[in-house]
Structure formats: structure tokens, C-alpha cells
Amino acid sequence: MSRGMIVVLVLSAVVLLFVLIIRHVNRIERRAVDAARRLLPHHAIDKKGVGHRFSGQVDGLEVTLRLYQTFGQRSQGGLWTEVLLPPSPGISLELRPQDPVEEHLAERGLAKDAVVGDPDFDRAFIVEMAPASLAPSIFDAELRRRLIDLRPVRVVPSDGGGLRLVRHYWDEDRFAAMIETGTLLAKRLQQAAGGEAAQAERWGSSHTAERAREEIELGQVRAARATWRIRNVLLVVGGLLVILVLRLLLK
């Protein structure tokens, strides 16, 4: 077989593989879009990237489900499902899977874990929030069960001031559970925010000052964690550069 024929065969195989991958991704996207449309009627193409938005009323709340793809710019690349939650004034919250890295961060004072009181839930997640005392009432038995069933799932801030309930991959069998869990979490946060507003009105400046202090402390922890991560990245990059320079000098 000639060299030119081998090149043609290799290129043909690469093109065929690329076509099969595109067809597979398109099938995943069609199934996911069809499943989401059955749950939330209003569908729009997400202008911020490759993705879709679905919205509608669920238990009296306006709910948005978003399906999108990333390529490593915000986190690990791939397909993502998220439910957008409205802002909850006076409450700051992040929920992340508990793992050795999170345990290390907590030991170093670079993460704050609000204990809910359920051993299974507390082992599964780190709940970083202010006011931390609201964690047991927000994460009641039903919400805890739903979040554990959805693992790996996280709650992170959104650019618009609200929150995002996020899960990796477009698993259409989990869309309904994501919507229901996001709706339930939004209701619990609204109830807690209303209670906080009532407490502030009742106790006045002392209550407001105490809550502001908690928010500042949590902000300081998050800032210190971000600095720690940047420093580690710089150390790794610097180490690689030193190794590269040494290898070039020793040649």
C-alpha cells in the first residue's frame, strides 16, 4: 500500500470519527431538549454560549432550567444542567460536595462548614453560608434527601445575584428532580429571608450588625481561599518552568 493511500485512509478515519461524535452529541442534545420541554414550556437558545433555557411556573414560582456546555473556562469542560434561583436578601450560600480537598481547606480555615445535624448530609456536603444558624431550618429532611439523591450537585452564586443549582451532564432522567429541588430550595431561602427581615425589624441595629459581621467573615474566608488557589497555581507553574530551565541547561 502506498504512502499516499495510507494518508487518505487515516484522514478518512479521522473524518468518520468526527462525524460520529457530532451525531452522538446531537442525539444527546435532542433528547435533552425534548425532555426539558415536557417539563417547562418556554424554550430559548442561550445567547451566552452553546445551550438552552427553559422556563415556566412551578408551585407558584418562575423556574428556569439551563442546559449548556463549557470548554474549561469556568470549570471542567462538558455538559451542565442548572436551575437558576432568585436572590435571597440577607443570605449568602454555597453548597459543595465534601471531599478531601474541602476537608483540607476547612482545617486551614479556608472554608466554613455550617453543620446541619444530619450525619449523612454533613458528610456529603460542605454548607458555607451566612447566617450559618439558618442551615438546619433551610436544609430540612426533604431538601437534604433530594440533594443527596442528586449527587454530585452544588449550589453556587450566579452573576445576577441569585444562586445556581448545578449538576454535571445532561441527564434527562434528573431534570424533574433538579427542577423540584431547585424550587424547594428557593422556597426555603425565601422563607428564611422573610424571617431575617422580621428579626431585623424586631431587634434593630444589633441584629443587622451581627449579620453583617458574619457576612464579612465569610467574605474574608472566600477571599483567602481564592488567594490560596492562585498561589498554588503559580507555584505549580513556577515549578514546571524551573524544571524546564534545568533540563535545557543540563543538555
pLDDT of residue 67: 93
Q: Using the predicted structure, report yes or no on whether residue 220 has a pLDDT greater than 80.
A: yes
Lowest mean pLDDT: which of 17-21, 34-38, 156-160? Answer: 17-21
**pLDDT tens profile 104-149:** 888 888 899 999 999 999 999 999 999 999 999 999 999 999 999 9
Q: Give the percent of the chain with pLDDT over 70.
A: 86
In a domain, 240, yes or no: no
C-alpha span between 82 and 90 (Å, rounded): 23
Counting beta carbons within 10 angstroms of the beta carbon of residue 243, is it exposed (0 to 12), middle (13 to 18) or buried (19 or more)? exposed
Within a 10 A sphere around the Cβ of 123, how many other Cβ atoms?
Answer: 9
Determine if the pTM surpasses 0.75: yes
DSSP class of residue 107 equals H
**pLDDT tens profile 65-89:** 999 887 654 456 688 999 999 988 8
pLDDT of residue 64: 94
In a domain, 4, yes or no: no
The β-bridge partners of 96 are 126
Task: Name the more confident of 177 and 7.
Answer: 177
In a domain, 204, yes or no: yes
In a domain, 51, yes or no: yes
Give kind and range of the element (H or E) at residue 73.
none
How many domains does the chain fold into?
Answer: 1
Question: Which residues in 131-243 belong to E strands, given as ranges?
Answer: 153-157, 163-168
Taking residues 14-22, what's their average pLDDT? 65
Lowest mean pLDDT: which of 25-29, 49-53, 199-203? Answer: 25-29
- Closest to 79 (Cα-Cα) out of 66, 90, 70: 70
In a domain, 33, yes or no: yes
Question: Kind of pairing, strands 51-58 and 42-45?
Answer: antiparallel
Q: Residue 206: which domain range?
A: 13-234
In a domain, 80, yes or no: yes
In a domain, 114, yes or no: yes
In a domain, 2, yes or no: no
